[in-house]
Amino acid sequence: MKIFGKSLHSLTGKLLVLIGSLFIISGSIAWYVFTFYTKEKLMDEAIKYAGSFVELTKKSTHYGMQNNQRETIQETIKAIGIAEGIRKVRIFNPEGKIAYSSKVDDIGSFVDKSDPTCQSCHVSPIRHPLGIEPQRLTVFKKAPWIITEGQGERLLKFVTPIYNEPSCYTAKCHVHSKNVKVLGLMEMDFSLSLIDKAIWKQTTFITVFGAIFAFVLSLSLCLILYKLVSKPVTLLADGMKEVASGELDYRVEINTKDEMGMLAQTYTRMTKELKAAREKLEGWTRALEEEVAKKTEEIRKSHEQMIHTEKLASLGRMAAGVAHEINSPLTGIVTFAHLMLKRIPPENKLDREDLEVIIEQAERCSKIIKGLLGFSRATPSEKRLLNINEVINRSIRMVSSKADFHNIKFEINMDDTLPPVAGDLSQLQQVFLNILINASDAMNNRGAIHVATRRVFENETAFVEVEFTDTGPGIPEEHLEKLFEPFFTTKPVGKGTGLGLAVSHGIIQEHGGTITAKSERGKGASFFIRLPIAEVN
């Protein structure tokens, strides 16, 4: 069920029902008390007025009675009987015989003593609150058995005794004896139609006015309730629904300074804090996702690295086997070819040239075999404490004497305070020489090589780092990842074997270090070698 568009279970609905019920109950009580009081007041006034009228009538007839002027009494009664609001005036003796009446036809007839009119007084005399005693009064409601003018009219009946007084039994007429106490009764009927009309008017007025007042008051109350309670509560409830559905930008516009306004402020503060917390949480989630992605990438790389290392290891083992098998026959070929060359006379140029080709090609094979043996690390390393700067200087001195390095400038920037590293001198030298020769090749034997050493930290572990940067054309990005693979070369056939960097990678790894390359096209290439600092006891 709904009331003003609100469910009866809603706060507004309950308030409306409660206030409405209280209003109806208290209004009804007020209405009843007020109309009852008005009725009583008007009746009291009527009785008071009628009582004094009865007294006046008695006094008016007193003189006539003392002088036994029956006609005067009858005329007075008649005159009073036609007055406005008076329905009947009668005087009858104790036996009930009507002696005087405003209705002449009644004179001489008897009043029926068993009549309820008489009985009501005889049996249960009513003591009037205004003290109109010993008169008796009765209010008859819609009494068709009372002969009155106009049906359904309420009548106020006064019946008052006429007592025997000294003036009565000493009067000349000697009508009454001294022993009789009550000489007769005066009965007067007053119409209550005017009073009833006034009561009806008053009641109607109170009812209509009360209803209009109640309607206006209820309407105002509803409007006040709607503005002060229902509307803000609905707005807040809507806001809460939005929050529950995850919408935190919804604003509740209540700008009052009362509790509702405070609630709205609390709501706004709460949504702001919730939003901040959510953003923080989202930030953490993003950071976590990034971290997970980073770690996944690291794991993927190390996995690839593992596979790569595994591949290289098996390739190395195979290469070592092949190299070992081929090395001896190849040495035999070269040795015997040299012997044959010595035996062939100089004029046999053709044979000599053929043999020289055999020797050249066999030596080339021998060079590859040596590389393969180095890659497979067939030669065991002999490690000792080395000053890395000295190893680099030795390597530079060795290449500087070569014609290929005559037009190459060395820019050296070494840290003299570096601690020693544990390494195999000839192997590390081989690594540095290979890098220097590659740089010279890349620069077409013309340019500069920047050589630097420094101490670096990786995961809180100190390393010695060696950097070689040349001014050559650099290494294309797609080549960077293949650089350390065996047999990767961009050099022409006969010049490169593609084993130099693969062997270097193996050597550095065996030393517990790393070798990496960085390059931007046209800006030269850089090689970084990191070696662990030796533990000196």
Applying CB under 6 A, the residues found at the interface with ligand ADP are: 434, 438-439, 442, 470, 472, 475, 483, 488-491, 496-498, 500-502, 525
Q: Which of 53, 90, 54, 55 is nearest to 73 (CA)?
A: 90
Cα separation, 73 vs 59, whole angstroms: 11
Shorter beta-carbon distance to ligand ADP: residue 335 or 490 = 490
Q: Which helix (H) or strand (E) holds 305?
A: helix 259-343
Give the residue at shortest CB distance from ligand ADP. Answer: 500
Q: How far is the CB of 491 from ligand ADP (least distance, A)?
A: 4
Q: How far is the CB of 504 from ligand ADP (least distance, A)?
A: 7
Cα distance between the two ends of the chain: 93
Burial class (CB in 10 A: 0-12, 13-18, 19+), 408: buried
Coil, helix or strand at residue 84? coil
CB 438, CB 488: distance < 8 Å: no
Coil, helix or strand at residue 390? helix
Q: How far is the CB of 447 from ligand ADP (least distance, A)?
A: 10
Q: How far is the CB of 456 from ligand ADP (least distance, A)?
A: 21
- Contacts of residue 178, defined as CB under 8 A and 6 or more positions apart, other chains included, come to 164, 169
In the chain, what's the furthest Cα-to-Cα distance?
A: 214
Shorter beta-carbon distance to ligand ADP: residue 489 or 509 = 489
Cα separation, 3 vs 91, whole angstroms: 66
Q: What are phi and psi for residue 401, nearest 5 degrees?
A: -75, -20
Whose structure tokens read 């629904």? 241
Q: How far is the CB of 490 from ligand ADP (least distance, A)?
A: 3
Shorter beta-carbon distance to ligand ADP: residue 178 or 409 = 409
Give me the DSSP letters along 268-302: HHHHHHHHHHHHHHHHHHHHHHHHHHHHHHHHHHH
Shorter beta-carbon distance to ligand ADP: residue 89 or 442 = 442
Q: How far is the CB of 494 from ligand ADP (least distance, A)?
A: 10
Q: What tokens does 396 get? A: 């530079």
Q: How far is the CB of 485 from ligand ADP (least distance, A)?
A: 8
- Contacts of residue 509, defined as CB under 8 A and 6 or more positions apart, other chains included, come to 309, 515
Shorter beta-carbon distance to ligand ADP: residue 26 or 490 = 490
Cα separation, 169 vs 52, whole angstroms: 26
Shorter beta-carbon distance to ligand ADP: residue 195 or 501 = 501
Q: How many CB atoms lie within 10 A of CB 204?
A: 11
Q: How far is the CB of 462 from ligand ADP (least distance, A)?
A: 27
The DSSP output letter for 150 is S
Q: What tokens does 405 get? A: 């390095």
Question: What is the pairing mode between strands 408-413 and 447-458?
Answer: parallel
Q: How far is the CB of 487 from ligand ADP (least distance, A)?
A: 8
Cα separation, 331 vs 508, whole angstroms: 29
Q: How far is the CB of 480 from ligand ADP (least distance, A)?
A: 9
